Structure 1
Amino acid sequence: MRLRIFLEPQQGATYEDQLAVAKATEELGFDALFRSDHYLHMGDGVSGLPGPTDAWITLAGLARETSRIRLGTLMTAATFRYPGPLAIAVAQVDRMSGGRVEFGFGAGWFEEEHAVYGIPFPTTARERFDRYEEQLDIITGLWSTPVGGTFRYEGKYYRLAEGPALPEPEQGPRPPVLIGGTGPRRTPRLAATFADEYNVPFSSAADTGAAFDRTREAAASVGRTDPIVYSAAQVLCVGRDEAEIARRAARIGREVDELRLNGLAGTPAEVVDKIGRFAELGAERMYLQLLDMADLEQLALVASEVVPQLD
């Protein structure tokens, strides 16, 4: 089981805040740092100050200021960018990092952030997923085109004239693609077709297992033989005793009992036990959502008292 740190900077974080977490993530031996790709804060009582930071610009900076950890998004929204420029940006960050980028990619869902920043938002889920699937075709197609070759695409929503598929990513044949969510039909099929990793966010162990099974069934139905990595994301709230757990829960505006039910919360022993339940379902990676980015001591606690107990 590999542990990865996951941030939500739209809730209020500077680049420097994220850099501090990235350096701690690397120094403490965690596998990766991922961040959300959102432009607007969520939830009551959250200001979002000092304002959003762009995911791929941030990751480009972190790529040059770290040396080991993997870097990626959970999840970049297909609605935010055209597929050609997005393929270029991710490939460039992959080269800047020496081949440490992983591309988490979703259909997009948060309509309000599109409205406040003037981003067109398809009003039906069908259109969003149709566009998303075309973008997956284009981005993976561009990355898979050999140097000297050209790429052309004719879809319902996107058309690319024949042209050079450059720059090439550092990783070959492409950076790993992550697809996530719990949709019952299209998500499993798209994961089976395109994904190197399938992620289930913020769900119970039972619901996560059911989602894993749907994707396994979809992979079998399309005749896929390449393995898929299965992973889960959970909010983190761990403490040495009840007082420390309660203090950390209060700082992120959550109740301890609710976090114990819906996240990785409790003592290190409790967190190890719950991670074990996800491992039994086939999860190979856990994304620990660190909502209080100033709490680097919590990461040190996980590194010293949780990680040594994991296989």
Structure 2
Amino acid sequence: MDLRIFTEPQQGASYDTLLAVAKATEDLGFDAFFRSDHYLKMGDVDGLPGPTDAWITLAGLARETKRIRLGTLMTAGTFRLPGVLAIQVAQVDQMSGGRVELGLGAGWFEQEHKAYGIPFPKEKFGRLEEQLAIVTGLWETKLGDTFDFHGTYYDLTDSPALPKPAQARIPVLIGGHGATRTPKLTARYADEFNMPFASVEDSERQFGRVRAAVEAAGRGADELTYSNALVVCVGKDDQEVARRAAAIGREVDELKANGLAGTPAEVVEKIGRYAEIGARRLYLQVLDLSDLDHLELISAQVQSQLS
């Protein structure tokens, strides 16, 4: 089971804070550092010092880390034109030496669009489908050839389809709870399917839908990596679990029901339940980015027990 650290910087984090977490992620042996792509806080937090841009952050981390994978859960399709996004991600991949992954979603948080003057179109899923076709199509176009795309929402003519990523293929992540369109889109474009903040039972059902869609598309179901994103709150004892839960404004019982919370033994047991339904990767949503001791505990007493 791969463990990846997943951050939500819109809740309040500077680049220096994110750099400290990314370096700890690397030093402690985790597989990757991922971040959300949001420009506005959620809930009862001040969000200071304000938003950081996902791909500018990852560009900086690409030069200041050496091993870990870097990516987004999920880049909002409403934020960037697909041609521009393809250039940005390919450049960061070059800057990292080929360690980037792209999670791409439709975008959903209308309030942040209003706050920063970003258009929030009514039809987002159709746009997402065209964005995936364009981004992957630009990267896959052979050197010297050009790329054209004429869709409902986007039109590209004679694109040189540059720059190219360092990787032969940047892994693409698609996720969500949708029962029909999401699995079909995943089958067509994704290397990984991510189920965010869902129970073992709901994840098993959605993994089954995705596997069926992948097979219907003529691919092997096991070509994809299946993953979950879950909030994490681990303590060496019940008192430490309660302290960490309080620090992020959550209740222990709720976290145990809906995330990965408890002592290392409890968390390892629950991870095993996700592994049994086919999850091979977990994105640990770390909400208190100042608590690097939390990452050390997870590394030493949870990750060390996973094969």
TM-score category (smaller protein)? over 0.9
> C-alpha distance in 2, partners of 1:308/1:278?
17
Mapping for residues 121-270 of structure 1, pairs under 5 Å: 121-123=120-122, 127-172=123-168, 174-225=169-220, 227-270=223-266
1:304 maps to a residue whose letter is A
> C-alpha distance in 2, partners of 1:224/1:40?
38
> C-alpha distance in 1, partners of 2:230/2:205?
16
| Secondary structure of the corresponding residue to residue 215 of structure 1 | helix
| Secondary structure of the corresponding residue to residue 232 of structure 1 | strand
Query: 1:258-284: per-residue Cα shift (whole Å, max 9, x none)?
Result: 000001000000000010000001111
Which residue of structure 2 lines up, in the alignment, with residue 22 of structure 1? 22
1:63 maps to a residue whose letter is A
Percentage of pairs with the same residue? 68
Q: How much is the aligned-residue C-alpha RMSD, in angstroms?
A: 0.7
1:179 maps to a residue whose letter is I
Contiguous gaps of at least 5 residues in structure 2 = none
| Secondary structure of the corresponding residue to residue 42 of structure 1 | coil
> C-alpha distance in 1, partners of 2:41/2:212?
36
> C-alpha distance in 2, partners of 1:308/1:289?
19
1:297 maps to a residue whose letter is D
Query: 1:13-35: per-residue Cα shift (whole Å, max 9, x none)?
Result: 00000000000000000000000
Mapping for residues 63-142 of structure 1, pairs under 5 Å: 63-123=62-122, 127-142=123-138
| Secondary structure of the corresponding residue to residue 278 of structure 1 | helix
> C-alpha distance in 1, partners of 2:159/2:38?
31
Query: 1:224-260: per-residue Cα shift (whole Å, max 9, x none)?
Result: 1370000001001000111100000000000001000
> C-alpha distance in 2, partners of 1:171/1:104?
16
Which residue of structure 1 lines up, in the alignment, with residue 53 of structure 2? 54
Which residue of structure 1 lines up, in the alignment, with residue 37 of structure 2? 37
Displacement after TM superposition at 1:47 (Å): 1.1
1:130 maps to a residue whose letter is G
Mapping for residues 268-279 of structure 1, pairs under 5 Å: 268-279=264-275
Displacement after TM superposition at 1:220 (Å): 1.3
Query: 1:65-84: per-residue Cα shift (whole Å, max 9, x none)?
Result: 00000000000011001000
| Secondary structure of the corresponding residue to residue 208 of structure 1 | helix
Displacement after TM superposition at 1:307 (Å): 1.1
Query: 1:177-233: per-residue Cα shift (whole Å, max 9, x none)?
Result: 000111111100001110000000100000011110010011111111370000001
2:104 maps to a residue whose letter is F
1:288 maps to a residue whose letter is L
> C-alpha distance in 1, partners of 2:107/2:159?
28
Query: 1:38-94: per-residue Cα shift (whole Å, max 9, x none)?
Result: 000001x21111100000000000000000000000000110010000000000000
2:50 maps to a residue whose letter is G
2:171 maps to a residue whose letter is P
More moved, 63-72 vs 156-165: 156-165
Query: 1:143-182: per-residue Cα shift (whole Å, max 9, x none)?
Result: 001111110100011000112010000000x210000111
Displacement after TM superposition at 1:296 (Å): 0.5
> C-alpha distance in 2, partners of 1:35/1:201?
13
> C-alpha distance in 2, partners of 1:209/1:182?
11
Residues 1:294 and 2:293 aligned together: no
> C-alpha distance in 1, partners of 2:290/2:143?
44
Query: 1:85-142: per-residue Cα shift (whole Å, max 9, x none)?
Result: 000000000000000000000011001101111111112xxx2000000000000000
> C-alpha distance in 1, partners of 2:304/2:110?
41
